[in-house]
């Protein structure tokens, strides 16, 4: 049997995880949130007090890191060195730390290997920045999500509020998003790019259901 991958790429807050989770539920396939893995690496650096920009120190840190992904009732859990960090990785400071360490090649290599290993022998939908360009360049379905930065910041702020994080203003979140947009698209190692064979979806003004339908229609056409 041949398995397929659905690649969802795009900048922070463009709706990737909501879309990927929704599609995975409808199709009964595995959803892998790859950003969570980079967040776990960023969190480890913060815990150790390592500068997330210090390539040599991060390389040393990567020699002794264990990241595991488990799925319980359809939701993904991320384990860092045996500890469930699924909630800790969503805290605001971790976003920027994840973006910083994700620019370091040895971090990317380790995470890409892990993503391919987890996806082996399954139909999967992955969201991230380099899924269609690097992790699965031959993925059967590729989508690239975009949305206005202000709209993305609004969504992130609402997510944080829902998690009880109240010390962030709209301006704080917008600044982090712009910082990450710049860094994630300009880094030398697997920058965020829209590959030629990806279908672009502008999510600024469409509902989650509409996004999910665009992907499901595409997949259904093939079955
Ligand atoms: O999707 P996210 O916001 O949880 O991702 C956090 C950071 O991780 C993001 O700013 C860039 C990095 N990342 C990456 O470089 N490649 C991926 N496939 C996923 C995330």
CATH number at residue 46: 3.40.50.300
What is the pairing mode between strands 83-84 and 75-80?
antiparallel
* Sign of the torsion angle spanned by Cα atoms 195, 199, 205, 207: negative
For residues 149 and 97, give the distance between their C-alpha atoms in angstroms, rounded to a whole number. Answer: 20
The number of helix segments (H) and strand segments (E) in the chain equals: 8, 8
Question: 38: Cβ below 6 Å to ligand 1?
Answer: yes
Number of independent structural domains in the chain: 1
Six-digit token string for 87: 């909630």
pLDDT the model gives residue 73: 80
Span from the CA of 192 to the centroid of ligand 1 (angstroms): 9
The Cα-based distances of 136 to 75, 117, 128, 175 in angstroms read 22, 12, 11, 31
Could you read off the pLDDT of 75-84 as tens digits, one per residue? 899 999 999 9
pLDDT the model gives residue 86: 97
Question: 133: Cβ below 6 Å to ligand 1?
Answer: no
Beta carbons of 98 and 35 less than 8 angstroms apart: yes
Residues of the chain with pLDDT under 50: none
Could you read off the pLDDT of 134-164 as tens digits, one per residue? 999 999 999 999 999 999 999 999 999 998 8
pLDDT the model gives residue 75: 87
pLDDT the model gives residue 165: 86
Span from the CA of 38 to the centroid of ligand 1 (angstroms): 6
Question: 136: Cβ below 6 Å to ligand 1?
Answer: no
User: What is the atom index within ligand 1 of the atom nearest the CA of 96?
Assistant: 10
Total-model pTM:
0.96
Domain of residue 162 covers 5-220
Question: 102: Cβ below 6 Å to ligand 1?
Answer: yes
């Amino acid at each position: 049997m041949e398995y397929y991958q659905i690649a969802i790429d795009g900048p922070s807050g463009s709706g990737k995880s909501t879309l990927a989770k929704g599609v995975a539920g409808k199709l009964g396939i595995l959803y892998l949130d790859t950003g969570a893995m980079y967040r776990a690496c960023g969190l480890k650096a913060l815990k150790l007090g390592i500068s997330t920009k210090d390539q040599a120190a991060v390389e040393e840190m990567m020699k002794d890191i264990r990241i595991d992904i488990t799925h319980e009732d359809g939701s993904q859990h991320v384990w860092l060195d045996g500890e469930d960090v699924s909630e800790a990785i969503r805290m605001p400071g971790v976003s920027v730390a994840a973006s910083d360490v994700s620019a370091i090649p040895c971090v990317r290599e380790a995470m890409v290997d892990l993503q391919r290993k987890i996806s082996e022998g399954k139909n999967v939908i992955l969201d991230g920045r380099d899924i269609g360009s690097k992790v699965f360049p031959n993925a059967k379905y590729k989508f690239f999500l975009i949305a206005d930065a202000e709209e993305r910041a609004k969504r992130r702020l609402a997510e944080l509020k829902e998690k009880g994080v109240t010390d962030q203003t709209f301006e704080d979140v917008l600044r982090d998003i712009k910082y990450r947009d710049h860094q994630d698209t300009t880094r030398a190692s697997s920058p965020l790019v829209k590959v030629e064979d990806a279908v672009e979806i502008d999510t600024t003004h469409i509902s989650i259901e509409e996004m999910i339908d665009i992907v499901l229609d595409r997949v259904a056409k093939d079955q």
